[in-house]
Structure 1
Amino acid sequence: MSIRTLIVDDEPLARRGIALRLARHPDIEVVGEAANGREAFFAISEHLPTLMFLDVQMPGVDGFELLRAVPLAQLPLTVFVTAYDQYALQAFEANAIDYLLKPIEDARLDAAVERVRRALAARDADDHCARLLRLLGNVSGKPDLTLDEALVDADRLAQPVEERLAIRDAGRILRVPVEEILWIDAAGDYMCVHTGKDTHVLRATMRELESRLDPRRFQRIHRSTIVNVGRVKELRAHLNGEYFLILDSGQQLKLSRSYKDKVRLLH
């Protein structure tokens, strides 16, 4: 019986390299590839893979966010592909079916495939789901994470992203092209949407706007700020672990320590 396999990595050469190595295993059938978490979400639903090679660090929807969004019944056995540091690797060693460090060695990939075969033969896929849950808890700093807490609203991935943001203004509805948006910040129960020329105000929450905007282009950098990452011109480190982002408009925004993982998206 073939093992239906999905490869998820934002680097085309990395996906190609994994596919070529897997071709040496006749029982592995690569049924699809995905370049980001959003594509992977749809690919899992379409192809129902048994196995997934998942890059952890991807722009927009990363590997962990993808795992939280996938329905438990569709969750494949997952081999992580990662460049994480040694501290994080301890979590992978304890909870993942296996993990591969970039650059991937042939022998390690072969060993990972063999572990997958043994896992399927032992029918311990349910145990694998439990290990993934523990992994998500360890990485998020919540070791007692429950399934309900781990799952996020999959609508953020399933809904098409908007190219124009509808804003009510004095009895009319403005449709602002999202590429014109520089940043968005909160003002009480309202959101201020800043473009190069104007500031528009709409009644919404940060979570609502995050679900409507493409995460590959818009990222939250503070509990009250979303930025268009394509408009960031400069990144300046601050002594207390925070950063300041300088937009191409000259506007300066703070990236708080709580969102310091977003720094990698701005390099």
Structure 2
Amino acid sequence: MTTALIAEDEPLLAQALQADLARCWPELKIIASVGDGPQALKQALVLAPQLCFLDIRMPGMTGLEVAQALAEDWPDDGPPFPLLVFITAYDEYAVQAFQAQAVDYLLKPVQPARLQQCTERLQKLLAQRQAQPAPQAMQAAMEQLRALLGSAPAAPQPRLDVIQAGVGSTVHMVPVDEVVYFEAADKYIRVVTADKEHLIRLSLKELLPQLDPQRFWQVHRGTVVQARLIQTAHREETGKVTLTLRGRPEKLTASRLYAHLFKGM
């Protein structure tokens, strides 16, 4: 029996999708239906469904953020990574751009004929996965997610040259070139240089478009490192990569999703 999770913050739409799935795929078992991103992530990790239907815009975390977090947190020795279907209210132009990737999309309101196409495609993909070694299936999933995240770039913004980190009545002017890495910490970002740390009240999602992607590499959903200050990258059997840094004693982990950045020349 194939299992699935539905994450949709509009209850009527969630109920309608579940009913439509029951009609076109009677063998499919919905093991959870949740209404926000954090619950989608939590339940997916606990229940390990084979499919996840994720609304793009949900409270707490978007569907894309849930997908990225799943890729980061999926257990190395766990079951196969779920196939992801995104449910979106974007216009047709955006949907066509997303459909160019190897992950399916459903446009709200979901049409029965389109859902039928989607379920047929999912059944074929599941059958192909059964004939695929687990590492290859995981690698294919990571490639899909990288393409997906790259298909929805943030709007370009002016590049930051200086980080203005406020502490009480004092503002510390930290040149971006001195930053070794940025790390998300609750509602703040840790700005780590060779000898100091600062906190700024900003999300990584807001900061990333202001950084030069050639200089600052995202290596985890909560970590961005200045590439020239990475000293070594050691690939683990799990697919993750351990990074050592110039000027800092700690080691950072690059997730499987970003391990492709570290290849010998």
Interval of TM-score (by shorter of Structure 1 and Structure 2): 0.5 to 0.7
* Unaligned runs of at least 5 residues, structure 1: 143-185, 193-204, 213-222, 227-254, 260-267
Alignment of 1:118-133 (within 5 A): 118-123=124-129, 125-126=137-138, 127-133=140-146
Query: Which residue of structure 2 lines up, in the alignment, with residue 39 of structure 1?
Result: 39
Q: Distance in 2 between matches of 1:7 and 1:211?
A: 30
Alignment of 1:191-230 (within 5 A): 207-210=184-187, 224=201
What SS is found at the alignment partner of 2:187? helix
Query: Which residue of structure 1 lines up, in the alignment, with residue 251 of structure 2?
Result: none
Residue by residue over 1:184-208, the C-alpha shift from the partner in whole angstroms, topping out at 9 and shown as x without a partner, is xx9735379xxxxxxxxxxxx9932
Aligned amino acid, residue 14 of structure 2: R
1:54–1:78: 8 Å Cα contact kept in structure 2?
yes
What SS is found at the alignment partner of 2:185? helix
Give the TM-score taking structure 1 as reference length: 0.53
Query: Which residue of structure 2 lines up, in the alignment, with residue 114 of structure 1?
Result: 120
1:80–1:96: 8 Å Cα contact kept in structure 2?
no
Compute the displacement of 1:107 (Å): 1.2
Query: Which residue of structure 1 lines up, in the alignment, with residue 13 of structure 2?
Result: 14
C-alpha spacing 1:191/1:40, structure 2 compared with 1 (3 Å):
farther
Cα RMSD after superposing both structures: 3.2
Q: Distance in 2 between matches of 1:65 and 1:95?
A: 17
Query: Which residue of structure 1 lines up, in the alignment, with residue 62 of structure 2?
Result: 62
C-alpha spacing 1:93/1:32, structure 2 compared with 1 (3 Å):
same
Aligned amino acid, residue 55 of structure 1: D
Alignment of 1:1-267 (within 5 A): 2-24=1-23, 25-70=25-70, 71-72=73-74, 75-123=81-129, 125-126=137-138, 127-140=140-153, 188-190=165-167, 207-210=184-187, 224=201
1:206–1:224: 8 Å Cα contact kept in structure 2?
no
What SS is found at the alignment partner of 1:95? coil
Q: Distance in 2 between matches of 1:83 and 1:100?
A: 9
* Unaligned runs of at least 5 residues, structure 2: 156-162, 170-181, 190-199, 211-265
C-alpha spacing 1:27/1:60, structure 2 compared with 1 (3 Å):
same
What SS is found at the alignment partner of 1:46? helix
Q: Distance in 2 between matches of 1:47 and 1:208?
A: 27
Residue by residue over 1:234-257, the C-alpha shift from the partner in whole angstroms, topping out at 9 and shown as x without a partner, is xxxxxxxxxxxxxxxxxxxxx99x
